[in-house]
Amino acid sequence: MKTEQWLQEDSSQNEGEIRYQLRLFITGASPNSTRAVDNLTAFCENNLPGNYSLEVIDVYQQPAVAQTEQIIALPLLITNGTETKRRLVGDMSDTQKLFRYFSLTP
């Protein structure tokens, strides 16, 4: 399986500034991984349009990255670019958790 990676960005942001830099670590094309990508993408498009970048990293294709980030459970979302690095494990189907994770009001 080839590495599934992409970056989504809206150029209408102030000087290209993206508030949320997201990295989603997955395990190939497993059902849980596919759900996590779909759920997170939908959530971000609906609630953070143009205010995030998303990189999807398949740990089967890039095991060194997983080791560097000390990943022990997947799928795993890591947010960089905020005050602290935050982590969320699961298929991203619980939108209430995602709202809390991003400190948003539903």
Predicted TM-score (pTM) of the model is 0.81
Of residues 3 and 46, the one with the higher pLDDT is 46
Give the closest residue to 23 by CA, choosing from 98, 88, 106, 101. 88
Report the C-alpha gap between 82 and 18 in whole angstroms: 10
Report the C-alpha gap between 62 and 40 in whole angstroms: 21
Give the homologous superfamily in CATH for domain 18-85: Glutaredoxin (3.40.30.10)
Q: Per-residue pLDDT averaged across 29-36, rounded?
A: 96
Domain boundaries, the chain: 18-85
Report the C-alpha gap between 52 and 83 in whole angstroms: 15
pLDDT at residue 81, rounded to an integer: 61
What are the pLDDT digits (tens) for 35-92?
999 999 999 999 999 999 999 999 999 999 988 988 989 999 999 765 678 899 999 9
Min mean pLDDT across 16-20, 64-68, 93-97 is at: 16-20
